[in-house]
Structure 1
Amino acid sequence: MTFQSINPTTGEPFATYDEWPTEVVQDVVGKVHRDYLAWRRTGFDHRASLMRNAADILNRNARDYAKLMAEEMGKPLQEGVAEAEKCAKACEYFAENAENFLSRLPIRTEARTTFVAFNPIGVVLAVMPWNFPFWQVFRFAAPSLMAGNAALLKHASNVPGCALAIEQIFRDAGFPQNLFRTLMIASKQVAALIEHPLVRAVTLTGSGAAGRAVASKAGAMLKKTVLELGGSDPYLVLEDADPDLAAAICARGRLVNSGQSCIAAKRFIVVEKVRPAFEKRFVELMSRTRMGDPFEHGTEMGPLARHDLRDTLHRQVTSSVAKGARLLLGGTVPNHPGAYYPPTVITDVSQGMPAYEEELFGPVAAIIPTRSEVEAIAVANDTAFGLGGAVITGDLARGEIIAETEIEAGMVFVNDNVHSDPRLPFGGIKESGYGRELSAYGIREFVNIKTVMVA
């Protein structure tokens, strides 16, 4: 089997990589474990120095990495540069804070000394997606390596070039040669890796089906997992919201990464009083988005990463319209090469429609009208997902209460887009997964939280 990079802008293949045989994979796992045994005993100052080197490499070469992302999954250059720079910030953040996050925690007991220690656990396998091919990896790798662990990366099959580039970043930064390794393997080989006795934990970002498969295998092997799965983030536009502000927040949230983000705004739950003004302004802003070649200056939205993803999204739109939703913008597959799909807005979305029940992974906005704040909250929670959400309101105090106590999600923002930040825990509930990445909470997911008592 081979992995082939296909440019979603042109549909043309441009690079091919061979799948590794089992014996090569086994050999690499052993090498990674051996490097871990030495790495776990290094000090935080040494780890931080190398992690800052990685940040410097990311910043210096951000445009080159952006070109690679544009080639493999269609991300506009300006977004790719921003992604690489965000990875650098994560490296710097954990270089600065890991020692504090993992320092001894004294506990008062009857003993002479009691404390909690945070020790590395070993080799962590990461199964990562294509939509943020650098960021998804670094938000796991930076804290994990700073904690003293080693890493194996099984990246999405359509971004092998990005996967190898990340491995090279860590090598060029001075990390041990085999501390972070990219594996050229197919998804069918993941189960055997989870069974490997030297693999101690697994983190996955991906679909619900992939999450269930990984969790099932890891559970059978009694290995820790962190899962960040799909999302259908609700944005509540309450009746006291400024329609212009709400439309700007929602348009920005819907079109991030051409709509291909687990935490992109997807369901716009609008109280009827403000709906006409909101819809008018929202459609205006969505229609202004410049869709085109990701390599061209000024392009705001590129193609979707693959043609099959575009076709699935279009079926969700047409099926929802057939069931009674109204199309306000877009909804037509462009008649030119590339996996393009235009910014699309459908309204009068209700239960039973794909736009209500399913995740829309692309630039399609589903407006769900509601009669009141109470109904809006109920609709927001009427989903299998629980990753992120937003509340847009003129009453910030009320918005804070709704965000904290009413919305069933791992992250809720008031008058802003849901976004990841190294300082904040990232993750969801329900079918959006479990565990947390980033922040002090994320770095402690893959450590041995050890009690030590000296009598």
Structure 2
Amino acid sequence: MPIATVNPATGETLRTFDPLGAEEIERRLALARTAFEQHRTTDFATRSRLLNRAADLLDADEDRIARVMTTEMGKPIAAARAEAAKCARAMRWYARHAAELLADEHPSAADVQDSGAARVTVRYRPLGVVLAVMPWNFPLWQVVRFAAPALMAGNTGLLKHASNVPGTALYLEDLFRRAGYPEGCFQTLLVGSAAVEGILRDRRVAAATLTGSEPAGRSVAAVAGDEVKHTVLELGGSDPFLVMPSADLDGAAATAVTARVQNNGQSCIAAKRFIVHTDVHDAFCERFTAGMRALVLGDPLDESVQVGPLATEKGRTDLEELVDDALRHGARALCGGGRPTPTTGSAAGGGSGTHGDAHTTLDKGWYYEPTVLTEVDERMRIHREEAFGPVATVYRVPDLPAAIALANDSPFGLSSNVWTRDEDEMALCARDIEAGGVFFNGMTASHPALPFGGVKRSGYGRELSAHGIREFCNITTLWYGPGH
């Protein structure tokens, strides 16, 4: 895949980049290791000052970097600004809390005595150079939620970003440089996927983190396993959204719309499978479909637009194939189901649309209508595969046990949403849903204070919170014998 900025709203290639050669990759690997030897010995006050400075610069750059993200991968401009602001908040959170999260730990006196020591300390020490292989869908946030804790722990970072967001990748390197980090603390590697294995196998790289597709995760995990290097993987999901009879249907339906189409439907933690009790199925579908149909689809730089294009032409083709397969096998589209046309307008199913020459833009860009599918079953690919775009599948179930069984009938287990006012139902879901998160009466979201990650084919390890910052630490036992 070429390294280029291609505007998904128009299909126009705006800028191309030459990948780094072997000599430059070697130079940057050496620089990362040298920077680590310096950065690992800095105190938390110094690291905090640097990260807070980066947050301040990011706040000042919010409009500029938001436009870069929108132009590179198509997210609505308001969502792009919100992503930048979220990144700055996360930086400040880690700058404020890292010292306490990584403070030395001291076992109880009884346990110390039982071990035969005079004293014992558990210390969190940085691992070294960490390679981050990151996706395009949240091109700033995915990187910052790795970089902020990793840098605060004393590591250095190498970023191999998705090849369609080079402008964002280069901005991140420049951001940390301007904040005052020593040269080599955080570097962007403009390389293709084929170069990742060699970089990961390099002895100077201590660990890796990847957010992306399952095949990419398998590849990185296989190489890291062969090299016996630590990894954290977040490989996507097909999150269930359960709605029970006691739920606030208006709130559930409104949240369902946002949960499905956030980031143009291209989010790992977006709700994708809507599992609804039969008693409220029809009423929920009516509200949900009306909300999806009313969404404004169009140029993501237009402030009024709620859903922009998919990030890549292949992404739209893959989504079309999933939906077409479902329709051929008996699924029914309550709205959407294809590319927007002049007859449907530029809002899903014929809503108000965008301003200006909307149809020309929609014809050129990689747009897909917000879609609701019902009567989906196991014969259909979409029942098993992640739909990475604004397409929702709705299932009817007779009771909560059936809803939980269907929620778990997926190779993924990233997060989940449950709408019910019944405390017993909440307890059952908290016990039995196979996912890294269960969000009750609200929308799954990531926050720096909360651990984030999944189970099954959604990956392993955790980002964010104390768990995330400790993933890339050498958790060291310091044992002192009698006489100390």
1:207-262 superposed Cα distances (whole Å, 9 cap, x missing partner): 11011110000000000000000200001111222221211121110011010000
* In the alignment, structure 1 residue 310 sits paired with structure 2 residue 316: yes
Tell me the amino acid that sits aligned with residue 393 of structure 2. Answer: A
Note the 1:3-152 alignment, pairs <5 A.
3-108=3-108, 109-110=112-113, 111-152=117-158
2:449–2:465 CA contact under 8 A, matched in 1: yes
Tell me the amino acid that sits aligned with residue 445 of structure 1. Answer: E
1:124–1:149 CA contact under 8 A, matched in 2: yes
Aligned equivalents of 1:271, 1:322: Cα separation in 2: 25
1:241–1:274 CA contact under 8 A, matched in 2: no
Tell me the amino acid that sits aligned with residue 477 of structure 2. Answer: T
Question: What does residue 480 of structure 2 align with?
Answer: 454
Question: What does residue 231 of structure 1 align with?
Answer: 237
* Structure 2 CA distance for partners of 1:399 and 1:255, relative to 1, 3 Å: farther
Note the 1:154-193 alignment, pairs <5 A.
154-193=160-199
* In the alignment, structure 1 residue 341 sits paired with structure 2 residue 339: no
The alpha carbon displacement at 1:394 in A equals 2.2
TM-score calculated relative to the size of structure 2 = 0.93
Q: Which of 342, 354, 366 does residue 381 from structure 2 map onto?
A: 354
Question: What does residue 328 of structure 1 align with?
Answer: 334
Question: What does residue 370 of structure 1 align with?
Answer: 397
Secondary structure in 2 matching 1:105: coil
Tell me the amino acid that sits aligned with residue 49 of structure 2. Answer: S
> How many residues are paired up?
454
* In the alignment, structure 1 residue 411 sits paired with structure 2 residue 417: no
Aligned equivalents of 1:403, 1:124: Cα separation in 2: 36
RMSD: 1.0
Tell me the amino acid that sits aligned with residue 91 of structure 2. Answer: C
1:388-441 superposed Cα distances (whole Å, 9 cap, x missing partner): 10110122x234313420100001100111110000000000000000000000
1:386–1:409 CA contact under 8 A, matched in 2: yes
Secondary structure in 1 matching 2:457: helix
Tell me the amino acid that sits aligned with residue 348 of structure 1. Answer: E
- The answer to which of 123-132 and 400-409 deviates more is 400-409
Tell me the amino acid that sits aligned with residue 269 of structure 1. Answer: I
Aligned equivalents of 2:231, 2:475: Cα separation in 1: 15
1:270–1:368 CA contact under 8 A, matched in 2: yes
- The answer to which of 242-251 and 296-305 deviates more is 242-251
Aligned equivalents of 1:403, 1:137: Cα separation in 2: 31
* In the alignment, structure 1 residue 425 sits paired with structure 2 residue 451: yes
Question: What does residue 263 of structure 1 align with?
Answer: 269
Aligned equivalents of 2:41, 2:214: Cα separation in 1: 37
The alpha carbon displacement at 1:380 in A equals 0.2
Among all aligned residue pairs of Structure 1 and Structure 2, give the percentage whose two residues are the same amino acid.
48
Aligned equivalents of 1:200, 1:349: Cα separation in 2: 45
1:390–1:403 CA contact under 8 A, matched in 2: no
2:238–2:272 CA contact under 8 A, matched in 1: yes
Tell which structure's C-alpha radius of gyration is larger.
2
Question: What does residue 407 of structure 2 align with?
Answer: 380
Secondary structure in 2 matching 1:188: helix
Tell me the amino acid that sits aligned with residue 94 of structure 2. Answer: F
Tell me the amino acid that sits aligned with residue 242 of structure 2. Answer: L
1:139-162 superposed Cα distances (whole Å, 9 cap, x missing partner): 000000000000000000000000
Secondary structure in 1 matching 2:416: strand
Question: What does residue 244 of structure 1 align with?
Answer: 250
Aligned equivalents of 2:429, 2:174: Cα separation in 1: 41
2:274–2:393 CA contact under 8 A, matched in 1: yes
TM-score calculated relative to the size of structure 1 = 0.98
Question: What does residue 202 of structure 1 align with?
Answer: 208
**Following TM superposition, where does structure 1 have runs of at least 4 consecutive aligned residues deviating by more than 6 angstroms?**
none
Aligned equivalents of 1:402, 1:421: Cα separation in 2: 25
1:117-171 superposed Cα distances (whole Å, 9 cap, x missing partner): 0000100000000000000000000000000000000000000000000101101
Question: What does residue 437 of structure 1 align with?
Answer: 463
Aligned equivalents of 2:288, 2:118: Cα separation in 1: 64
5+ unaligned residues in a row in structure 2: which ranges? 342-362
* Structure 2 CA distance for partners of 1:27 and 1:304, relative to 1, 3 Å: same
1:392–1:399 CA contact under 8 A, matched in 2: no
The alpha carbon displacement at 1:99 in A equals 0.6
Tell me the amino acid that sits aligned with residue 135 of structure 2. Answer: P
Tell me the amino acid that sits aligned with residue 251 of structure 2. Answer: L
1:403–1:413 CA contact under 8 A, matched in 2: no
- The answer to which of 259-268 and 329-338 deviates more is 329-338
Aligned equivalents of 1:263, 1:134: Cα separation in 2: 16
Aligned equivalents of 1:399, 1:170: Cα separation in 2: 46
2:31–2:183 CA contact under 8 A, matched in 1: no
2:404–2:429 CA contact under 8 A, matched in 1: no
Aligned equivalents of 1:95, 1:242: Cα separation in 2: 38
2:213–2:236 CA contact under 8 A, matched in 1: yes
Tell me the amino acid that sits aligned with residue 442 of structure 1. Answer: G
Question: What does residue 299 of structure 2 align with?
Answer: 293
Aligned equivalents of 1:398, 1:61: Cα separation in 2: 47
Secondary structure in 2 matching 1:106: coil
1:163-221 superposed Cα distances (whole Å, 9 cap, x missing partner): 00010110111111211000011001100011100000000000110111100000000
Aligned equivalents of 1:247, 1:98: Cα separation in 2: 38
The alpha carbon displacement at 1:352 in A equals 2.0
Aligned equivalents of 1:366, 1:340: Cα separation in 2: 19
